[in-house]
Amino acid sequence: MADEHKHEHKGTHEHGHDHNDHDHSHSHEDAHAHGGAHVHEDTHAHDHEHGHSHDHGDDHKSRFHDPAHAAEFDQRGMSDMRSHLTTKLIEALTLKGDELILDLATGTGRVARPLAQQIKNGRIVGVDEAMAMLDVGHQHKEPIAHYVQSAGEADKLPFKSGTFDRAFVSFSLHHFGNPAGVVSEVLRVLKNGGRFVVLDPIIEEAKDSVDIALEAKINQVFRRTHGGGFRFHTASSIQRLLTKAGYRVPRTSVLSYPFNQEGMDGLPTGRHWLEAALELEKEAPELAERMKKNYFTWHSHGDHAHVKGSFSYALITGVKPA
């Protein structure tokens, strides 16, 4: 058992337990900085029960198949939070630089670009169902090094078994209508000992019937835009998806990002979160109070709202048994 404490000035507060694949040691880390993320890492699942492709409702599918929307999506760039999460994802891949990597639901290659800086002799294969997203990515003035694209469905990958050394999916798992099929397909195309890293926004573990009702309402609001297959996961439900498919899950991190601002700009899917909150305020005061406790508070003034709270993201590594 090893205990480590460290301090950084990058906007993160971390603490947790990390099960290392090789030496099976555990560590506890603390990093402090200015107003950033709170990270909890654990190796044990709790026993509670994408961005642009695969098995969505028609409305959401059409948005990501639309060239204008794909171009607008690509031009947004990454927020500081997304950049920090992307750095954590790349670290979790534990690369030597010669790996063949699957970028699932690659979109326009926004994660592939910084990842490519870690590649020397390897290659990144980006897969997406939405041709418009792939087209925008292909038209970049500065092509992404070591990166190729392939059209395909996440639960029917167009690759032979045992092809990839690494795989990852970023901000897309909640869009997959068949998440169990997706993680099983990734397991199939990974080599023995290969790693699959999942980065996704998560909701709180339901502790009672109020939490369950709140989860249902949140998903209902998001499905209006993102289709019937949309579903927010919890950290433990992602762990269960992976373990049931046959992965070993050596590491789970939960990163919580606080905010205190006017409006939801800069917060991923923030507009829909506020939409859900305002509806609950009118229709179900008990659920609105739980929303405030679990996620964020809001104070409306005119057409605007001041919001304060935090959203959490899971970074989970699955390993295909050797």
pLDDT digits (tens, 9 = 90+) for 9-30: 233 333 333 443 333 323 323 3
Range ranked top by mean pLDDT from 3-7, 42-46, 59-63, 145-149: 145-149
Q: What is the mean pLDDT of residues 306-319?
A: 97
Mean pLDDT of the chain: 79
Query: Hey, what domains does the chain have and what are their CATH numbers?
Result: 12-204+230-260+311-319 (3.40.50.150)
Q: What percent of the chain has pLDDT over 70?
A: 72
Flag the least confident range among 117-131, 159-173, 213-227, 272-286: 117-131
Query: How far apart (Å, rounded) are the C-alpha atoms in residues 63 and 103?
Result: 21
Residue 49 has pLDDT above 50, yes or no: no
Write the pLDDT tens digit of every residue in 175-196. Answer: 999 999 999 999 999 999 999 9
Where does the pLDDT of residue 37 fall: very low under 50, low under 70, confident under 90, or very high at 90 and above? low
Residue 96 has pLDDT above 60, yes or no: yes
Flag the least confident range among 141-145, 162-166, 209-213, 258-262: 141-145
pTM: predicted TM-score of the whole model, two decimal places: 0.78
pLDDT of residue 121: 93
Flag the least confident range among 34-43, 190-199, 237-246: 34-43
Residue 82 has pLDDT above 50, yes or no: yes
| 142 Cβ neighbours under 8 A, 6+ residues apart | none
Which H helix or E strand runs over 126? strand 123-128
Q: Tokens for 199?
A: 């980065």
DSSP for 249-284 reads: EEEEEEEEEEEEEESSTTSTTHHHHHHHHHHHHHH-
Residue 259 has pLDDT above 50, yes or no: yes
More confident call, 63 vs 79: 79
Beta bridge partners of 202: 233, 312
More confident call, 261 vs 5: 261
The C-alpha R_g of the chain, in whole angstroms, comes to 19
Where does the pLDDT of residue 64 fall: very low under 50, low under 70, confident under 90, or very high at 90 and above? very low
Q: What are phi and psi of 259, to 5 degrees?
A: -145, 155
